[in-house]
Structure 1
Amino acid sequence: MDDRTDAQGDPVGANEFFAPAMEPASREGWRYRLFRLMFHHETRGERNFDLALIAAIVASVLVVLLDSDPAIKARWHAPLYVAEWAFTLLFAVEYAARLWTVRRPLRYARSFLGIVDLLAIVPTFLSLLFPASTSLTVVRILRLLRIFRILKLVKYSDEAGLLTQALIRSRRKILIFVLTLLTIAVIFGALMYVVEGPAHGFDSIPTGMYWAVVTMATVGYGDLSPATGLGRFLTSALIIIGYSIIVVPTGIYTSELARSMRSRGRVQVRCPQCSLGEHEEDAWFCRKCGHALPFRD
């Protein structure tokens, strides 16, 4: 694991996930002070700025939530609409200021938090053309991830990286599993279309596939149900299949996660005697044959 830290005291690897370490466009003047205010959190003023930003994010999300309620919207739509645009303009100015104060604006714009910052303001402007898109501004809640930096919790993102790596390594097995599920859904959807037919709500094969997916997931909405004996038999068989395979992706992921955890704290160095290529960080001798490792000579 990389124990290096950046200028803010956060682990380098973890920092890259939330936002790459940015360099100021200027090292003097109020432009640099603005950079420090928005990208650092050591002084009281910098922390107060972050806390004020978090309060504004929470308030803006609450405005969107309240405006979605018909009763509240009928009475308070105008003030809520003004507040929403005020927050949007505030975040737009902040986003522009962040781009202006960093040396490589495109790098920040392409970072995770940079993309989230942009998505936080786009829906409100899109609502001028598509009114329903204003509800998408709840994506601003993702901006609260900045609290990880304020509370010095970025170091724990290494654990999230471990989970992500395990998921990536198991992607082929999971893909095969998903394709198998789709195949089963197509087959049973077609069977139910033939057995039950439009008279019982199965008016197409895609409708049967929808029923098959819901049944395998053991959700059972009840909007479609078989009426014939054969249809009920197929339903029972599919439910048993669903219970049988529902643990498969969990097992695949858990296996990869266990392998990832076993490999933590190890280094890639090949033993000259038995060619074993992975050893503990503090190992002086091969854990298989006992031969001295080359980097310990």
Structure 2
Amino acid sequence: MTEVPHAQEKEAGGGFFDRTYAPASEKGLRFRLYRLLFHHEAQDERNFDLALIVVIFASVIVVMLDSEPSIKARWHDQLYVAEWIITILFTVEYAVRLWVVRRPLRYANSFLGVVDLLAILPTFLSLLFPASASLAVIRILRMLRIFRILKLVKYADDAGLLVQALLRSRRKILIFVTALLTISVIFGSLMYVVEGAEHGFDSIGTGMYWAVVTMATVGYGDISPGTGLGRFLTSTLIIIGYSIIVVPTGIYTAELARTMRPKRRVVRCGECGLIDHESDAWHCRRCGRSLPDPTE
């Protein structure tokens, strides 16, 4: 059997951090750049990735410093130039990544490909919308590459379990959020009627804002009831808030436990009738009789 060269390996799927892409060329500069950008085994490849992470971190610091008024007043021009230099470097890197892979659209549509694109868009958009320059901090997401560089992909699998549990509980959480909005509308409307504009409740929307803050037990204190009935409604809403604040946590925890539970094999034992078995079981755990072959 002929051994398949590493450069001709079939493109593999996988998670956000362990996906691989076939090179567009198997030799020359294009292949060397492909190895540099998408592999992490050789010392120069790892050094490039670590240098890239340093630049990403520095770019986020530049954006943060430019948002500080005292620093911006003195160093804005220098920070502006640094931001554009970093953006141009990221743009060239993104273009080279598209150039060296066999299927550029596959990389562009991947999670890290989208993050790479979003890392450079805010600076270019700032030419039309200056305020969008601050959105460049989104490039901090590029730090996720450290999972692959430091071989921490197994932790990404654990994160996938958390996301899966969240997706499985989305309907229950949606019902819970709908119930919260209903309570907020009811109590916000009641406070608007009971307290009125003289106590700060000048609209139902303001009353809903107060209800959300009160039910979350945050209590900013910018709006507070001034009548006895209003205080009674506030006390009732606080009790409701304490009663339901643990509901989403319970929902998520239950789904997480269900997601982490080992898969079971559902097949009826011909001897004792037990239908729940381990996924790799060949014999009934109660009576020991052989179970039907799952491949049949």
TM-score, reference length from structure 2: 0.91
How far apart in 2 are the matches of 1:76 and 1:167? Answer: 44
Please state if 1:95 is matched with 2:94: yes
Counterpart position of 1:3: none
Change (3 A) 1:38 1:269: farther
Which string of whole-angstrom CA distances, capped at 9 and with x for unpartnered residues, describes residues 4-30 of structure 1?
Answer: xx99xxxx77x4223632111111111
1:15-34 mapped onto 2 (5 Å cutoff): 15-18=14-17, 20-34=19-33
Counterpart position of 2:77: 78
Counterpart position of 2:257: 258
Please state if 1:292 is matched with 2:269: no
1:209-224 mapped onto 2 (5 Å cutoff): 209-224=208-223
Checking the alignment, whether the CA contact within 8 Å between 1:173 and 1:252 is kept in structure 2 is yes
Unpaired runs of at least 5, structure 2: 1-5
Counterpart position of 2:236: 237
Checking the alignment, whether the CA contact within 8 Å between 1:35 and 1:101 is kept in structure 2 is yes
Change (3 A) 1:98 1:194: same
Residue type at the aligned position of 1:270 = V
Q: 1:291, CA displacement in angstroms? A: 3.3
Counterpart position of 1:42: 41
Counterpart position of 1:247: 246
Counterpart position of 1:165: 164
Q: 1:267, CA displacement in angstroms? A: 5.3
User: For 2:278, what is the secondary structure of its paired residue?
Assistant: strand
Checking the alignment, whether the CA contact within 8 Å between 2:36 and 2:45 is kept in structure 1 is yes
How far apart in 2 are the matches of 1:28 and 1:93? Answer: 21
Which string of whole-angstrom CA distances, capped at 9 and with x for unpartnered residues, describes residues 216-268 of structure 1?
Answer: 111111111111110011000000000000000111111111111223xx354
User: For 1:17, what is the secondary structure of its paired residue?
Assistant: coil
1:184-203 mapped onto 2 (5 Å cutoff): 184-203=183-202
Which string of whole-angstrom CA distances, capped at 9 and with x for unpartnered residues, describes residues 49-77 of structure 1?
Answer: 00110010011111101111111111111
User: For 1:121, what is the secondary structure of its paired residue?
Assistant: helix
How far apart in 2 are the matches of 1:261 and 1:24? Answer: 36
Please state if 1:127 is matched with 2:126: yes
What is the number of residues matched between the two proteins? 284
Checking the alignment, whether the CA contact within 8 Å between 1:19 and 1:108 is kept in structure 2 is no
Residue type at the aligned position of 2:123 = T
Checking the alignment, whether the CA contact within 8 Å between 2:274 and 2:286 is kept in structure 1 is no
Which string of whole-angstrom CA distances, capped at 9 and with x for unpartnered residues, describes residues 169-227 of structure 1?
Answer: 11111111110000000000000000001111111111111110111111111111111
Change (3 A) 1:126 1:22: same
Checking the alignment, whether the CA contact within 8 Å between 1:19 and 1:111 is kept in structure 2 is no
> 205-214 vs 160-169, which deviates more?
160-169
Change (3 A) 1:47 1:75: same
Q: Cα RMSD between the aligned structures?
A: 2.0
1:99-114 mapped onto 2 (5 Å cutoff): 99-114=98-113
Q: 1:293, CA displacement in angstroms? A: 2.4
1:52-71 mapped onto 2 (5 Å cutoff): 52-71=51-70
> Larger relative CO (CA 8 A, sep 6+): 1 or 2?
1
Q: 1:277, CA displacement in angstroms? A: 5.9
Percent of residue pairs identical: 72
Counterpart position of 2:267: 270
Checking the alignment, whether the CA contact within 8 Å between 2:269 and 2:284 is kept in structure 1 is no
User: For 1:294, what is the secondary structure of its paired residue?
Assistant: coil
TM-score, reference length from structure 1: 0.90
Checking the alignment, whether the CA contact within 8 Å between 1:19 and 1:114 is kept in structure 2 is no
Residue type at the aligned position of 2:267 = R
How far apart in 1 are the matches of 2:116 and 2:170? Answer: 29
Q: 1:159, CA displacement in angstroms? A: 1.0
Change (3 A) 1:36 1:267: farther
User: For 1:21, what is the secondary structure of its paired residue?
Assistant: coil
How far apart in 1 are the matches of 2:202 and 2:193? Answer: 10
User: For 1:107, what is the secondary structure of its paired residue?
Assistant: helix
> 21-30 vs 177-186, which deviates more?
21-30
How far apart in 2 are the matches of 1:289 and 1:241? Answer: 51
Residue type at the aligned position of 2:245 = I
Change (3 A) 1:98 1:275: farther
Counterpart position of 2:144: 145
